[in-house]
Amino acid sequence: MVNPALIVSVFVVASCGLAYELIMAALASYLLGDSILQFSSIIGVYMFAMGIGAHLTRYIHDRDALSRFIDIEILVGIVGGISALLLFVLFGFSAAPFRSVLYGLVLIIGIITGMELPLVMRVLNLREVEFKEVVSRVLTFDYLGALAVSLLFPLILAPKLGMARSALLFGILNTIVALLTARLFKKDLRRYRHLCLRGNIVLLILLLFFCYANQITNKAEEHYFGDPVVYSTASPYQRLVITKWHNDTRLFINGNLQFSSVDEARYHEALVLPAMEQNPRAANILILGGGDGLAAREVLKYSQVKQVTLVDLDASMTKVFRTSAQLRELNQNSLNHPKMRIINADAAQWLEHNQQKFDVIIIDFPDPANFSLGKLYSVPMYRMVARHLNPHGNIVVQSTSPYFAPNAFWCIVTTLEAAGLKTLPYHVYVPSFGEWGYVMASQEGEFLIPDDYRVSTRYLDANSTREMFNFPKDMQRRAVEANHLNTQKLVEYFEADWRAVMR
């Protein structure tokens, strides 16, 4: 009969092994960007390393299989447990070697994890359990453990504990498995006391790190971002960090600056006001993205507006900008305004299942740095957006930098046109970003360049508005392809443009 304790160990071990893989891949996508590449490469290297680990078990003698399994659980507990914390600290203080250390840890943890199941199967086989029963039970609980963690990690652990504490939790579980296995098979172990001593030391270290993980990651983030971190969280979709230094509040998503309160008025006035001025009777407004409420703040300046619908995927984003007194002051409490309707959903799915039409649609998504964001800038997406536009309505899209990422910017223009819309591109200088671009679009193409605004502004006036619609020679239109779902040319252009800037 298969020992139930070892089968439970298999379940926990499988959960921990997949958890380290997911945590490494999520960290890489948060800190390095390009989530598909990071997940693919991390998983590939991890599986390769597991194969090496499985092969190495052939050199372990049968009589040592049990003690080596316990050794490995203690080792993977400490290495896997502190891996995310180590990477956070490394990225915060010295980002240069981050990628090398990341893949080094993936290899080490993968090799150690790959040794676990072969050793468990050998331990069971040595106890005269029938081989077919060993294989079926071990693999069944291995797959069940993988299923459990694949659901728990994105839905509960990452949002509640964050990456560093999640890794430490699984390290603690690995170490507990080692200690319980040692206790259950005490008579079969020659080094029982030595194994227990090491296991308890590792467990104590992991518990201490678990208690202080948030303080350590906050210090690392403050060093990386340069200003004190006042809020940080890892949602199922992204990592949000808010910093504050004197009168400068900044939002970072996955390490990328989204706004600085010093000059965000330039960005948001340019995004919203020219589009709102096109239709003096615009009453029903849709904002896609913009969970910080800053675009909504500009929309709500117009008294004729009856309702603003804001669709943002991440409830963590809208929650903090609705509840924090400091952030509510920044967005003038726009997200709690009675005219606001907030929906936390995927924008594309919401549009697909909703028939409502709008006078102005404001699209304020993050830059198309990966394929999941790139789809939101595609021809099918813009066609779907256009179907929700009232006659004489218009769309405006934040469109990255026409100076630093010209191919990406003009790809967005080309994509809107491929979706059957007429376009009017423009740009504004935002000191914290540099030159930034937008595209206004409509079915008719009858655009008015405002020479005055019906609402108060901090930046825009007749002169600055005229400058926005003139493109100098080094930002003129490029011949680029439209962004389709099956090609995702925009992501390719975006990455190439920014690589050229950063090299």
> Which residue, 434, 371, 378, 442, is CA-closest to 402?
434
The reported pLDDT for the residue numbered 127 is: 65
The reported pLDDT for the residue numbered 122 is: 84
The reported pLDDT for the residue numbered 3 is: 63
* For residues 136-164, average pLDDT: 84
* For residues 120-148, average pLDDT: 75
Residue 129 or residue 337, greater confidence: 337
Residues contacting residue 161 through CB under 8 Å, at least 6 positions apart: 169
SS3 state at 262: coil
What is the DSSP secondary structure assignment for residue 334, as one 8-state letter? G
User: In percent, how much of the chain has pLDDT > 70?
Assistant: 96
Query: DSSP readout, 53-118?
Result: HHHHGGGS-GGGHHHHHHHHHHHHHHHHHHHHHHHHHHHHH--TTHHHHHHHHHHHHHHHHHHHHH
What domains, with CATH codes, occur in the chain? 4-222 (1.20.1250), 261-502 (3.40.50.150)
> Where does the pLDDT of residue 503 fall: very low under 50, low under 70, confident under 90, or very high at 90 and above?
low
Any idea which of 149-153, 387-391, 461-465 has the lowest mean pLDDT? Answer: 149-153
Average pLDDT, the chain: 90
* For residues 217-236, average pLDDT: 82
Residue 142 or residue 327, greater confidence: 327
What is the DSSP secondary structure assignment for residue 385, as one 8-state letter? H
The reported pLDDT for the residue numbered 86 is: 93
Q: Where is the binding site, in residues?
A: 238, 268, 292, 312, 346-347
Q: Which of 71, 364, 367, 497 is catalytic?
A: 364
Q: Does the CA dihedral 286-289-291-296 come out positive or negative?
A: negative
The reported pLDDT for the residue numbered 132 is: 66
Residue 1 or residue 369, greater confidence: 369
In the predicted structure, residue 378 carries a pLDDT above the cut 60: yes
In the predicted structure, residue 370 carries a pLDDT above the cut 90: no
Any idea which of 100-114, 177-191, 335-349 has the lowest mean pLDDT? Answer: 177-191
The reported pLDDT for the residue numbered 130 is: 64
> Where does the pLDDT of residue 162 fall: very low under 50, low under 70, confident under 90, or very high at 90 and above?
confident
Separation CA 42–CA 84 (nearest Å): 14
The reported pLDDT for the residue numbered 219 is: 85
Q: Write out the two tokens for 89.
A: 């600290």
CB 426 within 8 A of CB 270: yes
Q: Write out the two tokens for 178.
A: 């080692």
Q: Please give the model's pTM, rounded to 2 decimal places.
A: 0.79
Any idea which of 8-12, 33-37, 117-121, 326-330 has the lowest mean pLDDT? Answer: 33-37
Q: Where is the binding site for S-methyl-5'-thioadenosine, in residues?
A: 238, 312, 346-347
> Which residue, 441, 363, 369, is CA-closest to 32?
369
The reported pLDDT for the residue numbered 120 is: 83
> Where does the pLDDT of residue 164 fall: very low under 50, low under 70, confident under 90, or very high at 90 and above?
very high
The reported pLDDT for the residue numbered 352 is: 93
The reported pLDDT for the residue numbered 442 is: 96
Separation CA 130–CA 203 (nearest Å): 34
What long-range pairs does 3-6 form, CB within 8 A, spacing at least 24? 3/124, 3/127, 3/184, 5/180, 5/181, 5/184, 6/120, 6/123, 6/124, 6/181
**Beta strands in 100-203, from DSSP E residues, in sequence order:** none
The reported pLDDT for the residue numbered 159 is: 79
> Where does the pLDDT of residue 131 fall: very low under 50, low under 70, confident under 90, or very high at 90 and above?
low
The reported pLDDT for the residue numbered 142 is: 79
CA separation, residue 49 to residues 39, 116, 163, 362, 497 (Å): 15, 13, 22, 46, 34
Q: Where is the binding site for spermidine, in residues?
A: 268, 292
The reported pLDDT for the residue numbered 34 is: 65
The verdict on whether 364 is a catalytic residue reads yes
In the predicted structure, residue 1 carries a pLDDT above the cut 60: no
SS3 state at 232: strand
The reported pLDDT for the residue numbered 351 is: 96
The reported pLDDT for the residue numbered 274 is: 96
